[in-house]
Structure formats: structure tokens, C-alpha cells
Structure 1
Amino acid sequence: MAAPDYVPADTATADRYYVSPPRRPQPWMADRPGELAGGQPEGSGLGVPGPDQGYALRLARRFEDRLALAPGEHAEDALAGCVAVALKRAAAFGRAPVSADVEVALRLFGFLSPTPGEAQVARRRELFAGVGHPHHYGEVRRLVDLVPEAVLRLSPAEVEAAGADGHLTLPAPSTGEQHG
């Protein structure tokens, strides 16, 4: 843009261009407090990190009006537990959560079934009681650890078909195991 004649023109600034900062002489090291030395820890109860995990909460809200809850069950508990299972499924595929992850988790526990069986409802009450509260992380981890990766790799249709036939059963929760 042209400037009026009365504005002085400094020709020295017109010849400037971008110059990157000087090179760092030493390589960067993870030596600050809180840095993970040796990579992400692995083990029971630690979970698996994945990208954009908070998006699973938004996806779960899309299923809220379709939940088949029995008396005494709460949508917050069902969604919190199933979101955690959905995140495990997404991480097993090495990606961010998608709607199918949440659907598989909800179908796995019969929350999308119009007529869940009495045994399934009793089991859900035991597994999902209070997991919607942030202080119940240990219970959420135990719930997630119940679902084998082979089951998580099934499609929503395969989970629905296996659940309807009664072929898909999860192991009973271990009460003596501590998760951190």
C-alpha cells in the first residue's frame, strides 16, 4: 500500500527478511519434573492413551435417548463406563474414538437392547453402580479390564448378533485386584 508523501520512507527496513533463531548447541532432553522418562508406562490399570479422547463423551451423548435402562440404573453411569470401554477400543485400533466405538460398548452391555435379560441387568447394576462419579476410577478401570481386546475388535453388528444369541459373555469381575 502506498504511503502519503509526508510519511518518511525508511529504505533499510524494506530489505529485511525472516531470519531463524540461532541453532541450539545441545539436543533437547526430557529433564523437567513431570516428563516421562522411557515413554508411556504400561500395565494393569493404567489404560492406553489415545488422541482426542474427550470426543467420546460427545459421541456418547448422541446415544443417551436410546439407552434401555432398568429401574435403578442411571444414564450417567452407563455412559461413563461405556465411554471408557469405547476409548479402549479406539486405542486398540490406534485412532481417535468414533461412533462405532461407543455403540460397541453400549451393545456389549445391552444398553441398546430393547429388552435386556434379568441376568444382564443384574450384572450391569453390579458393574456400573456409581462409575459416573469421578471418584470411582478404580471401578471404571476394572470394568474396562473385563473386556478382552478380541471382543473390542468386533463390529457393532457382530456384537449385536453375539449378544442376541447369548454367546458374548464377559468374565466375572475380580474383587481382590487393586488398580491405580
Structure 2
Amino acid sequence: MAAPKFTPIDPTDRPRSYSSPDHIPSPWRNDRPAAIKTRQPTGLKLGHQGPDQGYALKLAEGLRDSIVLQQGESADDAIRGVLAIALRRASRFGRAPVIHDLTIAFGIWGWMLLDPPADLVARRKELFTGLGDAAHHYSELRELVDMVPESTMLMTPEQIRTGMPGSWRALTGA
């Protein structure tokens, strides 16, 4: 890179040029035992991969106070189920989760409605109960996520708000 004009230069200095380092390290190789050497695996019960999925946990905790629970419902169950739906939506777009993924997932199940329909609450209790303990309910969690139609994943939060609570069955696939 050239020096600015106001920089003093000693006319007796020799110009510097690039020289290679004495040692050239060997190129990196993917030879770790647990490294995936092919594309990310896909299939039943493998979930939906995406970048920085842990950020959804922080976003969900920020929305915990907005969840409207009915008798017999748990905020942990609601968050666990909604997180999985939100992560599916985020991975659908090939990006990290954002707040809109969570508001859509909470919205389609009516978790932020002050007075949700009784049939929606009954279906929620049936599907979400126990999901907070993911180690024992992974299959149920996957079924919940896979139930939501692809068309819902492509909707905006405004479209979800205008469709709720009347069209919750179509939005959730339940």
C-alpha cells in the first residue's frame, strides 16, 4: 500500500516487497471423527437444521409474560412446542430465528389470545401437554411441528393475526 504524500521518506531506504513465510502450513482437512462429510442429513425425526437456533430460546423467554395460559396449561410446554415450530419456519428461509417466527408460532395456536375458543384450548392441551420435557416427548414434538402446513410457514404475522381465531384449524393443520 502506498504511503500518503505527507509521510517523510528517507531517499536512501530500499523499497520493501512481499516475501513468503519460511514455513507454509499444510491445508486444513475435514478429518475429525464426528465431522459430517456429506450434506446435512434429512429424514423423519431429524428436525429442521438452521443457523444459530439457540437464539430462539432467548426470544421465547422474552415473550414468556405474553403467553395467556388456561387452566391446566404450562408455559414451558407452550414454549417448547412453539420453539420447534418457529425453528422450522426459520430453517425454511435458511436463516437464524427472528421474533416473527415466534409470534407466528404462538399466534397460530392462540397462546396470546385473551379469550381463545374452547376447542382450540382443548386441542392445545392434547398436543402440548408434557412437551416441556423434550427427552421423553420428542416424537410428540416432531408430530406437532410436522402437522403445521407449509403454507402457514410462508405467512406473515399480519396474515396470522387477521386469520385468528376463526381459522386456527387451517393454520395449524389440526
Instruction: Tell me the TM-score normalised to structure 1 length.
Output: 0.78
In structure 2, how many angstroms separate the alpha carbons of the residues matched to 1:168 and 1:162? 10
- Note the C-alpha offset of 1:139: 1.4
- Note the C-alpha offset of 1:86: 0.5
Q: Give structure 1 regions of 4+ aligned residues with deviation exceeding 4 angstroms.
A: none
- Note the C-alpha offset of 1:51: 1.0
In structure 2, how many angstroms separate the alpha carbons of the residues matched to 1:167 and 1:72? 20
Q: How does 1:1-180 map onto structure 2 within 5 Å? A: 19=21, 21-24=23-26, 28=29, 30-135=30-135, 136-166=137-167, 168-169=169-170, 170-172=172-174
In structure 1, how many angstroms separate the alpha carbons of the residues matched to 2:36 and 2:52? 20
In structure 2, how many angstroms separate the alpha carbons of the residues matched to 1:167 and 1:58? 26
Q: Which amino acid aligns with 2:114?
A: P
Structure 1 spans left out of the alignment, 5+ residues: 1-16, 173-180
Question: What SS does the corresponding residue of 2:69 show, helix, strand or coil?
Answer: coil
After superposition, the Cα gap between the structure-2 partners of 1:18 and 1:80, relative to the gap in structure 1 and judged at 3 Å, is: farther
Question: What SS does the corresponding residue of 1:120 show, helix, strand or coil?
Answer: helix
In structure 2, how many angstroms separate the alpha carbons of the residues matched to 1:125 and 1:20? 67
In structure 1, how many angstroms separate the alpha carbons of the residues matched to 2:22 and 2:128? 55
After superposition, the Cα gap between the structure-2 partners of 1:32 and 1:116, relative to the gap in structure 1 and judged at 3 Å, is: same
Is this contact kept in 1: 2:116–2:165, CA < 8 A?
no
Deviations 1:38-80 (A, max 9, x none): 2111112211211111110110112111111110000000011
- Note the C-alpha offset of 1:104: 0.3
- Note the C-alpha offset of 1:138: 1.6
Number of residue pairs matched by the alignment:
154
After superposition, the Cα gap between the structure-2 partners of 1:46 and 1:20, relative to the gap in structure 1 and judged at 3 Å, is: farther
Q: Which amino acid aligns with 2:51?
A: P
Instruction: Tell me the TM-score normalised to structure 2 length.
Output: 0.80
Is this contact kept in 2: 1:68–1:112, CA < 8 A?
yes
Is this contact kept in 2: 1:162–1:168, CA < 8 A?
no
After superposition, the Cα gap between the structure-2 partners of 1:85 and 1:167, relative to the gap in structure 1 and judged at 3 Å, is: closer
In structure 1, how many angstroms separate the alpha carbons of the residues matched to 2:111 and 2:23? 57
